[in-house]
Protein backbone atom coordinates (compact mmCIF):
# COMPACT_ATOMS: atom_id res chain seq x y z
CA UNK A 1 0.00 0.00 0.00
CA UNK A 2 1.58 3.27 -1.09
CA UNK A 3 1.21 6.18 1.32
CA UNK A 4 2.04 8.60 -1.48
CA UNK A 5 -1.29 8.01 -3.21
CA UNK A 6 -3.94 10.73 -3.27
CA UNK A 7 -5.89 11.08 -0.03
CA UNK A 8 -9.43 9.71 -0.40
CA UNK A 9 -12.44 11.72 0.69
CA UNK A 10 -14.28 10.89 3.88
CA UNK A 11 -17.15 8.39 3.50
CA UNK A 12 -19.92 11.02 3.64
CA UNK A 13 -18.29 12.95 0.81
CA UNK A 14 -17.81 9.81 -1.24
CA UNK A 15 -21.51 8.98 -0.91
CA UNK A 16 -22.42 12.43 -2.24
CA UNK A 17 -20.34 11.78 -5.36
CA UNK A 18 -21.83 8.34 -5.90
CA UNK A 19 -18.67 6.44 -4.97
CA UNK A 20 -19.40 4.04 -2.14
CA UNK A 21 -16.74 1.34 -2.40
CA UNK A 22 -14.73 2.24 0.67
CA UNK A 23 -14.01 0.86 4.13
CA UNK A 24 -16.14 2.31 6.95
CA UNK A 25 -14.64 5.17 8.92
CA UNK A 26 -12.70 3.74 11.85
CA UNK A 27 -11.81 5.36 15.15
CA UNK A 28 -11.41 5.29 18.91
CA UNK A 29 -13.91 5.59 21.75
CA UNK A 30 -12.14 6.19 25.05
CA UNK A 31 -14.31 5.54 28.12
CA UNK A 32 -12.48 7.41 30.88
CA UNK A 33 -14.89 6.09 33.52
CA UNK A 34 -13.12 2.71 33.46
CA UNK A 35 -9.55 3.89 32.86
CA UNK A 36 -7.28 2.69 35.70
CA UNK A 37 -4.24 4.74 34.73
CA UNK A 38 -2.02 1.71 34.13
CA UNK A 39 -0.31 3.35 31.11
CA UNK A 40 -0.39 0.07 29.18
CA UNK A 41 -1.59 2.07 26.16
CA UNK A 42 1.38 4.43 26.39
CA UNK A 43 3.83 1.55 26.58
CA UNK A 44 2.20 -0.43 23.76
CA UNK A 45 2.15 2.66 21.53
CA UNK A 46 5.81 3.36 22.14
CA UNK A 47 6.84 -0.24 21.59
CA UNK A 48 4.88 -0.76 18.37
CA UNK A 49 5.83 2.58 16.83
CA UNK A 50 9.40 2.52 18.19
CA UNK A 51 9.04 5.94 19.79
CA UNK A 52 11.84 7.51 21.81
CA UNK A 53 11.49 7.00 25.58
CA UNK A 54 10.44 9.75 27.97
CA UNK A 55 12.56 10.70 31.01
CA UNK A 56 11.80 7.84 33.44
CA UNK A 57 11.88 9.85 36.67
CA UNK A 58 10.69 13.25 35.53
CA UNK A 59 8.56 14.88 38.24
CA UNK A 60 5.88 17.10 36.71
CA UNK A 61 3.90 17.82 39.87
CA UNK A 62 0.81 16.35 38.19
CA UNK A 63 0.28 13.34 40.42
CA UNK A 64 1.66 10.21 38.70
CA UNK A 65 1.77 11.84 35.26
CA UNK A 66 5.37 11.78 34.03
CA UNK A 67 4.66 12.58 30.35
CA UNK A 68 2.44 15.65 30.96
CA UNK A 69 1.06 15.95 27.40
CA UNK A 70 0.99 14.50 23.91
CA UNK A 71 4.19 15.08 21.96
CA UNK A 72 6.23 13.87 19.02
CA UNK A 73 7.47 11.02 21.21
CA UNK A 74 4.25 10.38 23.18
CA UNK A 75 1.25 9.57 20.98
CA UNK A 76 -0.88 8.31 23.88
CA UNK A 77 -0.89 10.27 27.12
CA UNK A 78 -2.61 9.13 30.32
CA UNK A 79 -3.66 12.07 32.48
CA UNK A 80 -3.99 11.72 36.27
CA UNK A 81 -6.35 14.26 37.84
CA UNK A 82 -6.91 14.31 41.60
CA UNK A 83 -10.07 16.04 42.84
CA UNK A 84 -11.46 16.81 46.28
CA UNK A 85 -15.05 16.04 45.37
CA UNK A 86 -17.71 13.95 47.14
CA UNK A 87 -18.19 10.54 45.56
CA UNK A 88 -21.56 8.89 46.08
CA UNK A 89 -22.71 5.44 45.10
CA UNK A 90 -26.46 5.09 44.51
CA UNK A 91 -26.44 1.52 45.79
CA UNK A 92 -24.99 2.66 49.11
CA UNK A 93 -27.13 5.79 49.26
CA UNK A 94 -24.40 7.72 51.02
CA UNK A 95 -21.11 9.47 50.46
CA UNK A 96 -18.29 6.96 50.20
CA UNK A 97 -15.32 9.27 49.65
CA UNK A 98 -14.34 12.94 49.47
CA UNK A 99 -11.58 12.29 46.93
CA UNK A 100 -11.65 10.94 43.42
CA UNK A 101 -9.29 10.25 40.56
CA UNK A 102 -10.01 11.11 36.95
CA UNK A 103 -7.84 9.20 34.51
CA UNK A 104 -7.98 9.57 30.75
CA UNK A 105 -5.90 8.33 27.86
CA UNK A 106 -5.61 11.16 25.32
CA UNK A 107 -4.71 10.76 21.66
CA UNK A 108 -4.89 12.54 18.28
CA UNK A 109 -8.53 13.24 17.44
CA UNK A 110 -8.31 12.53 13.66
CA UNK A 111 -10.69 15.42 13.01
CA UNK A 112 -13.23 15.39 10.21
CA UNK A 113 -12.12 18.92 9.30
CA UNK A 114 -8.40 18.48 9.93
CA UNK A 115 -6.62 21.84 9.85
CA UNK A 116 -3.21 20.14 9.99
CA UNK A 117 -3.95 18.40 6.70
CA UNK A 118 -5.18 21.60 5.06
CA UNK A 119 -2.08 23.68 5.85
CA UNK A 120 0.58 21.09 4.98
CA UNK A 121 2.50 22.43 1.94
CA UNK A 122 4.16 19.15 0.97
CA UNK A 123 1.27 16.70 1.24
CA UNK A 124 3.02 14.98 4.12
CA UNK A 125 -0.31 14.74 5.94
CA UNK A 126 -2.95 12.69 4.17
CA UNK A 127 -6.37 11.17 4.80
CA UNK A 128 -6.37 7.39 4.75
CA UNK A 129 -9.10 5.15 3.39
CA UNK A 130 -10.21 4.64 7.03
CA UNK A 131 -10.86 8.35 7.54
CA UNK A 132 -7.79 8.82 9.76
CA UNK A 133 -5.05 11.42 9.32
CA UNK A 134 -1.43 10.28 9.02
CA UNK A 135 1.92 12.10 8.75
CA UNK A 136 4.44 10.79 6.21
CA UNK A 137 7.79 11.60 7.76
CA UNK A 138 9.70 10.95 4.53
CA UNK A 139 8.19 14.03 2.83
CA UNK A 140 7.73 16.28 5.87
CA UNK A 141 9.86 19.43 5.53
CA UNK A 142 9.59 20.40 9.19
CA UNK A 143 7.83 23.72 8.51
CA UNK A 144 5.64 23.34 11.60
CA UNK A 145 2.47 24.74 10.03
CA UNK A 146 0.52 21.70 11.22
CA UNK A 147 1.75 22.22 14.80
CA UNK A 148 0.20 25.67 15.05
CA UNK A 149 -2.92 24.68 13.06
CA UNK A 150 -4.02 21.83 15.34
CA UNK A 151 -6.82 23.06 17.67
CA UNK A 152 -5.95 20.34 20.21
CA UNK A 153 -2.19 20.88 20.39
CA UNK A 154 -1.58 17.29 19.36
CA UNK A 155 1.11 17.51 16.67
CA UNK A 156 4.67 18.20 17.73
CA UNK A 157 8.10 18.44 16.13
CA UNK A 158 10.83 16.15 17.37
CA UNK A 159 14.07 17.88 18.31
CA UNK A 160 16.24 15.07 16.96
CA UNK A 161 15.03 15.31 13.36
CA UNK A 162 12.87 18.45 13.19
CA UNK A 163 9.93 16.54 11.70
CA UNK A 164 6.27 16.49 12.75
CA UNK A 165 4.91 13.35 14.43
CA UNK A 166 1.60 12.17 15.89
CA UNK A 167 -0.67 9.15 16.29
CA UNK A 168 -1.39 7.28 13.05
CA UNK A 169 -4.18 5.20 14.64
CA UNK A 170 -1.79 2.34 13.84
CA UNK A 171 -2.38 2.65 10.10
CA UNK A 172 0.02 -0.22 9.47
CA UNK A 173 -1.96 -2.49 11.80
CA UNK A 174 -5.55 -1.64 10.83
CA UNK A 175 -4.64 -1.99 7.17
CA UNK A 176 -3.96 -5.65 7.96
CA UNK A 177 -7.17 -6.10 9.95
CA UNK A 178 -5.44 -5.77 13.33
CA UNK A 179 -6.48 -3.70 16.35
CA UNK A 180 -4.34 -0.61 17.21
CA UNK A 181 -1.67 -1.39 19.77
CA UNK A 182 -3.11 0.84 22.51
CA UNK A 183 -6.61 -0.65 22.30
CA UNK A 184 -5.15 -4.16 22.16
CA UNK A 185 -3.17 -3.56 25.36
CA UNK A 186 -5.90 -1.82 27.41
CA UNK A 187 -6.89 -4.27 30.19
CA UNK A 188 -10.26 -2.64 30.98
CA UNK A 189 -11.31 -1.90 27.37
CA UNK A 190 -11.34 1.78 28.21
CA UNK A 191 -9.94 2.29 24.69
CA UNK A 192 -12.25 0.76 22.11
CA UNK A 193 -11.55 0.57 18.39
CA UNK A 194 -14.02 -0.04 15.60
CA UNK A 195 -16.39 1.51 13.10
CA UNK A 196 -17.19 5.03 14.21
CA UNK A 197 -20.95 4.60 13.92
CA UNK A 198 -20.88 1.47 16.09
CA UNK A 199 -18.66 3.17 18.66
CA UNK A 200 -21.04 6.10 18.92
CA UNK A 201 -23.99 3.77 19.58
CA UNK A 202 -21.96 1.99 22.24
CA UNK A 203 -20.86 5.27 23.82
CA UNK A 204 -24.40 6.68 23.92
CA UNK A 205 -25.65 3.55 25.67
CA UNK A 206 -22.79 3.76 28.18
CA UNK A 207 -23.65 7.37 29.07
CA UNK A 208 -27.29 6.42 29.58
CA UNK A 209 -26.23 3.59 31.90
CA UNK A 210 -24.04 5.90 33.97
CA UNK A 211 -26.84 8.45 34.24
CA UNK A 212 -29.19 5.75 35.53
CA UNK A 213 -26.56 4.82 38.11
CA UNK A 214 -26.40 8.39 39.34
CA UNK A 215 -23.25 9.51 37.53
CA UNK A 216 -24.93 12.59 36.09
CA UNK A 217 -21.66 14.30 35.09
CA UNK A 218 -20.96 11.71 32.39
CA UNK A 219 -20.96 13.21 28.89
CA UNK A 220 -19.48 12.58 25.45
CA UNK A 221 -16.80 14.81 23.97
CA UNK A 222 -15.68 15.06 20.34
CA UNK A 223 -18.57 13.12 18.81
CA UNK A 224 -20.75 15.99 17.54
CA UNK A 225 -20.71 16.43 13.73
CA UNK A 226 -21.92 20.01 14.24
CA UNK A 227 -18.97 21.15 16.36
CA UNK A 228 -16.05 23.28 15.16
CA UNK A 229 -14.24 20.37 13.50
CA UNK A 230 -17.35 18.42 12.37
CA UNK A 231 -16.64 15.67 14.86
CA UNK A 232 -13.62 13.51 15.59
CA UNK A 233 -12.40 10.06 14.69
CA UNK A 234 -11.44 9.70 18.35
CA UNK A 235 -13.97 10.76 20.96
CA UNK A 236 -14.28 10.41 24.73
CA UNK A 237 -16.65 9.77 27.62
CA UNK A 238 -15.74 12.30 30.32
CA UNK A 239 -16.82 12.62 33.94
CA UNK A 240 -16.22 16.37 34.17
CA UNK A 241 -15.81 19.44 31.98
CA UNK A 242 -13.34 19.07 29.08
CA UNK A 243 -11.07 21.76 30.56
CA UNK A 244 -10.44 19.54 33.58
CA UNK A 245 -8.81 17.01 31.25
CA UNK A 246 -6.86 19.68 29.35
CA UNK A 247 -9.22 19.54 26.36
CA UNK A 248 -10.59 22.67 24.63
CA UNK A 249 -14.31 23.14 25.32
CA UNK A 250 -15.07 24.41 21.82
CA UNK A 251 -12.42 23.28 19.31
CA UNK A 252 -12.55 24.96 15.91
CA UNK A 253 -11.00 24.24 12.54
CA UNK A 254 -8.31 26.91 12.48
CA UNK A 255 -8.44 27.15 8.67
CA UNK A 256 -12.18 27.81 8.53
CA UNK A 257 -11.73 31.58 8.17
CA UNK A 258 -8.87 31.42 5.63
CA UNK A 259 -11.03 31.97 2.49
CA UNK A 260 -12.55 35.12 3.98
CA UNK A 261 -9.11 36.31 5.10
CA UNK A 262 -7.68 35.82 1.60
CA UNK A 263 -10.62 37.72 0.10
CA UNK A 264 -10.03 40.62 2.47
CA UNK A 265 -6.32 40.60 1.70
CA UNK A 266 -6.99 40.57 -2.03
CA UNK A 267 -9.42 43.47 -1.67
CA UNK A 268 -6.87 45.42 0.37
CA UNK A 269 -4.16 44.73 -2.22
CA UNK A 270 -6.42 45.89 -5.05
CA UNK A 271 -7.30 49.03 -3.10
CA UNK A 272 -3.61 49.84 -2.56
CA UNK A 273 -2.82 49.14 -6.22
CA UNK A 274 -5.67 51.37 -7.36
CA UNK A 275 -4.43 54.15 -5.07
CA UNK A 276 -0.91 53.89 -6.47
CA UNK A 277 -2.16 53.98 -10.05
CA UNK A 278 -4.41 56.96 -9.31
CA UNK A 279 -1.58 58.87 -7.63
CA UNK A 280 0.79 58.11 -10.50
CA UNK A 281 -1.78 59.22 -13.09
CA UNK A 282 -2.49 62.45 -11.16
CA UNK A 283 1.23 63.20 -10.91
CA UNK A 284 1.63 62.96 -14.67
CA-to-CA separations, 206 to 29, 34, 147, 203, 252, in angstroms, rounded: 11, 11, 33, 5, 27
| 116 is known to lie in a ligand binding site | yes
CA-to-CA separations, 133 to 9, 80, 148, 155, 204, in angstroms, rounded: 11, 27, 16, 11, 25
| 192 is known to lie in a ligand binding site | no
Give the C-alpha separation, 192 to 37, whole Å: 15
| 151 is known to lie in a ligand binding site | no
| 41 is known to lie in a ligand binding site | yes
| 274 is known to lie in a ligand binding site | no
| 170 is known to lie in a ligand binding site | yes
| 186 is known to lie in a ligand binding site | yes
| 215 is known to lie in a ligand binding site | no
Distance of CA 206 to the CA centre of its chain: 21
| 140 is known to lie in a ligand binding site | yes
| 45 is known to lie in a ligand binding site | yes
Give the C-alpha separation, 49 to 31, whole Å: 23
| 35 is known to lie in a ligand binding site | yes
| 150 is known to lie in a ligand binding site | yes
Annotated binding-site members for [4Fe-4S] cluster: 35, 38, 41, 45, 108, 111, 116, 120, 140, 143, 146, 150, 167, 170, 182, 186
Annotated binding-site members: 35, 38, 41, 45, 108, 111, 116, 120, 140, 143, 146, 150, 167, 170, 182, 186
Amino acid sequence: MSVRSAAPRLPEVQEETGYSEHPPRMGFFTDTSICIGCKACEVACKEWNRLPPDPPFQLTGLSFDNTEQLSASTWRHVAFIEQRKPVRRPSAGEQTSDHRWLMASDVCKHCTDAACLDVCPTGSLFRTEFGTVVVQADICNGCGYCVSACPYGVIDKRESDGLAWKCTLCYDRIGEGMVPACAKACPTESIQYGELSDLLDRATARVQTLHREGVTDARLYGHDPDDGVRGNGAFFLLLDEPEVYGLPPAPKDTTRDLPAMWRHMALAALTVAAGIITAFAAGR
